[in-house]
Amino acid sequence: MEFLNAFVAFSNFVIVPAIAYGSQLALGALGVTLIYGILRFSNFAHGDTMAFGAMVTILVTWWFQSMGINLGPMPTALLALPFGIAGAALLVLATDRMVYRFYRAQKAAPVILVIVSMGVMFVMNGLVRFIIGPDGQQFADGERFIISARNFKTMTGLSEGLAFRTSQAITIVTAVIVVALLFWFLNKTRTGKSMRAFSDNEDLALLSGINPERVVAYTWIIVAALATIAGVLYGLDKGFKPFTYFQLLLPIFASAIVGGLGNPLGAIAGGFVIAFSEVTVTYAYKKVLIYLLPESLEPSTLVQLLSTDYKFAVSFAILIIVLLFKPTGLFKGNTA
Amino acid sequence: MSNPFLIGENMTGGYGRGADILHDCTISVAKGEIAVIVGPNGAGKSTAMKAVFGMLNLHKGSVRLDGEDITKLAPQARVAKGMGFVPQTQNIFTSMTVEENLEMGAFIRTDDFSNTLSQVYDLFPILKEKRYQAAGELSGGQRQQVAVGRALMTKPKLLMLDEPTAGVSPIVMDELFDRIIEVARSGISILMVEQNARQALEIADKGYVLVQGRNRFTDSGKALLADPEVRKSFLGG
């Protein structure tokens, strides 16, 4: 019983949140890795693309709510998601047309494109704050819990509760579906294969008659979809605030690099590695240890390895360790 | 030789705005024949081939394919006209499977290419065996087969090979040459740059010896092999 309680507490505060957070990071990192693989630069504007897509989704959600349209127990945001994706896709395609295409035609070095993307980041950043404001927004509605802590306790008779929130379940299910769709697209369709070919060997892809502008446009649309979905899921789970999305850039890049830049499978693995490290290192283990240890050894402190304020340090540390020992990432990616 | 299938005539030019590498160089291939370009290092062999394929700025001379002037066409457009090109390096998609490599070769085709696919597999049986394996995991000789197979997928009328035997063992080289002869017999013209001059000239209907971007000797492969001056200067006696 003591052990079960410890396990439930651990699941409630570490495993379930980390899986949800890992799914969000994985979706974000997939976008970063696709841009790196095909357009060959690290897109610093990715966090703000997520924020923009999420913002459009929120605005449409509010509009739906004002008209009384909802999804019952599910959040209305899911209904608004396609609009958010379309909005983000239009934004990145316009950005590509106005900004990136110019540098592509000049065959600008990747480092120049990185700086350019930082400029784009600031513009998108301002755009989002200008439209929706810098404050936090709540837009989650519908049923809050699938299993609430109290229900879990009465169901199992344990003294610890395991809460499973709707947003967490939606995050995990959506992430699985999106990843499956993405891999099907990249591996089975002609367009997806041409994207992989372009990423693998640009010159040979051109020789084979693959149209680079088409590949680039498809990439941006897919990246906009991934970014918006990641942004909305994160917002449903933890609330929307433009600044948090900017901050998410670090763990997302860490995930993509840890997994191996340019490798989609690596991005997913990297997302979970970063999420689990962040959550396990910043969790206070006191509660779990009280159940597991005899009374005499009970901890008097929180037994927290690192304060949550330092959670970004975890991404950094893992990033550095991986780059030191395996510069191409855990999975075989392009050298960063 | 009055009406060659492909001819790059009096080509003069270089890369970008750099100095000229080719000087009044002429290369031609007849239908179903094998033409080989040989010469010392830095003679402009690969450059001559790239010029024919449109990867060079020519400010003199012209390239004609089947009587049509294609001097101004981009390389991609020349692929659509029936020219297949196998670069010397990075000529396969390493992270993709053998079959995906061949599919990408057929990217510009809108018709059903399964027939061509099985023809390529008949020509290179080992590729059929390894069709689901990543091309980057194959041996050097097998990679070259993938590269040639990829170029054949567009059903080209002319196949251009830039040192197809670079870095493969002598046994694999003989095997590759056999395959290339087989391709030529099916009616496809072949233009090839080779380091292994002697072996290449043995299978060549026509040979070009280039020196410093100029035609030095032009004759049938056999005649070049028999020419004492060519033997002395370029074939090591």
A326, two tokens: 């395996």
- Chain B residue with CA closest to A263: the answer is B95
Q: Where residue B133 falls among pLDDT bands split at 50, 70, 90? A: very high
Q: Considering the domain boundaries, does residue A203 fall inside one?
A: yes
pLDDT confidence of residue A2: 84
What residues of chain A lie within 8 A of the CB of B96, using their CB? 193, 196-197, 200
pLDDT tens, residue by residue, B188-219:
999 999 988 899 999 999 999 999 999 999 99
Which of A197, A200, A209 has the CB atom closest to B108's CB atom?
A: A209
Considering only CB atoms, which residues of chain B are within 8 Å of chain A?
75-76, 79-80, 85, 87, 90-96, 100, 103-105, 107-108, 150, 154
pLDDT computed for residue A333 by the predictor: 63
Partner residue opposite A196 with nearest CB, options B91, B95, B154:
B95
A331 assigned to some structural domain? no
For residue B197, give both structure tokens.
């001059």
| pLDDT recorded at residue A334 | 59
The answer on pLDDT for A111 being more than 80 is yes
Least CB-CB distance to B76: which of A190, A200, A206?
A206
> Closest Cα of chain A to B77: distance in Å?
8
A168, part of any domain: yes
- Predicted confidence (pLDDT) per residue in A262-301, tens digit: 899 999 999 999 999 999 999 989 888 888 888 888 888 8
Q: Return the H-helix or E-strand segment holding A146.
A: strand A145-147
The residue type of B170 is P
Cα-based distances in Å from A30 to A101, A182, A190, B140, B157: 22, 10, 20, 32, 41
Render chain B in DSSP notation, one character per residue: --S-SEEEEEEEEESTTS---EEEEEEEE-TT-EEEEE-STTSSHHHHHHHHHT-SEEEEEEEEETTEE-TT--HHHHHHTTEEEE-SSS-S-TTSBHHHHHHHHTTT--S--HHHHHHHHHH-HHHHHTTTSBGGGS-HHHHHHHHHHHHHTT--SEEEEESTTTT--HHHHHHHHHHHHHHHHTT-EEEEE-S-HHHHHHH-SEEEEEETTEEEEEE-HHHHHH-HHHHHHHS--
Q: Give dist(CA A43, CA A115) in Å, integer.
A: 9
In a domain, A300, yes or no: yes
How many angstroms separate the CA atoms of A172 and A203, rounded?
38
- Looking at the domain assignment, is residue A332 inside a domain? no
Indicate which CATH number applies to the domain containing A289: 1.10.3470
Residue A263: DSSP 8-state: -
Whether pLDDT at A309 is above 80: yes
Residue A177 has a pLDDT of 97
Give the C-alpha separation, A111 to A81, whole Å.
33
Q: Is residue A335 part of a domain?
A: no
Task: Indicate the DSSP class of residue A284.
Answer: B
User: How far is CA B232 from each of CA A173, B205, B228, B235, rounded to the nearest angstrom?
Assistant: 73, 21, 6, 6
Nearest CA in chain A to B95: A200
B67: left (phi over 0), alpha (psi -120 to 50) or beta: left
Task: Sort out which chain A residues have CB atoms less than 8 A from B95's CB and list them.
Answer: 196, 199-200
Query: In whole numbers, what is the pLDDT of chain A averaged over residues?
Result: 93
Three-state SS at A147: strand
CA nearest to B135 within chain A: A200
Write the pLDDT tens digit of every residue in B25-76: 999 999 999 999 998 888 899 999 999 999 888 989 999 999 999 999 989 8
Return the amino acid letter for B10: N
Mean of pLDDT values over A207-220: 94
Nearest in space to A53 (alpha carbons), one of A249, A218, A214, A245: A245
Task: Give residue-wise pLDDT tens across range A16-27.
Answer: 999 999 999 999
A196/B79 Cβ within 8 A: no
Q: Which residue from A minimizes the CA distance to B91?
A: A204
Domain holding A208, by residue range, is 2-325
Q: Which residue of B has its CA nearest to A210?
A: B107
Question: Does a structural domain hold residue A330?
Answer: no
Share of chain B above pLDDT 90, in %: 79
- Indicate if the pLDDT at residue A28 is higher than 60: yes
Closest CA to B144 of B111, B109, B180, B104: B180
Is residue A319 a part of any domain in this protein?
yes
Residue at token pair 């079959």: B99
Please answer yes or no on whether B79 and A209 come within 8 Å at the CB atom: yes
Could you read off the pLDDT of A63-110 as tens digits, one per residue?
999 999 988 899 999 999 999 999 999 999 999 999 999 999 998 999
Residue A335 above 60 pLDDT? no
Residues of A in contact with B154 (CB under 8 A): 209
Is the Cβ pair A193, B79 closer than 8 Å?
Answer: no
Q: Do B80 and A208 touch (CB under 8 A)?
A: no
CA distance A183 to chain B (A): 14
- pLDDT band at residue B233 using 50, 70 and 90 as cut-offs: confident
| Interface touch A208/B150, C-beta < 8 Å | yes
Task: Return the structure tokens found at A279.
Answer: 């959550």
CA of B227 vs chain A CAs: smallest distance (Å): 38
State whether residue A188 sits within 8 Å of chain B by CB. no
Dig out the tokens for A300 from the structure. 């008097």
Residue B12 vs residues A110, B66, B210: alpha-carbon distances, Å: 34, 21, 13
Number of inter-chain CB pairs under 8 A, A vs B? 57
Q: Which residues contact A141 (CB under 8 A, 6 or more apart)?
A: A65, A70, A75, A76
Q: Does the structure show a pLDDT above 50 at B1? A: no
* pLDDT confidence of residue B2: 53
Q: Which of A190, A201, A207 is nearest residue B85 as measured by Cβ atoms?
A: A207
3-state helix, strand, coil in chain A (%, to 5): 75, 5, 20
**Chain B CA closest to residue A202:** B93
Measured between CB atoms, which of A196, A201, A208 is closest to B105? A208
Q: Which residue from B minimizes the CA distance to A208?
A: B105
Neighboring chain A residues of B81 at a CB cutoff of 8 Å: none
pLDDT beyond 90 at B149? yes
Per the structure, the count of domains in chain A is 1
- Per cent of chain A over pLDDT 70 is 99
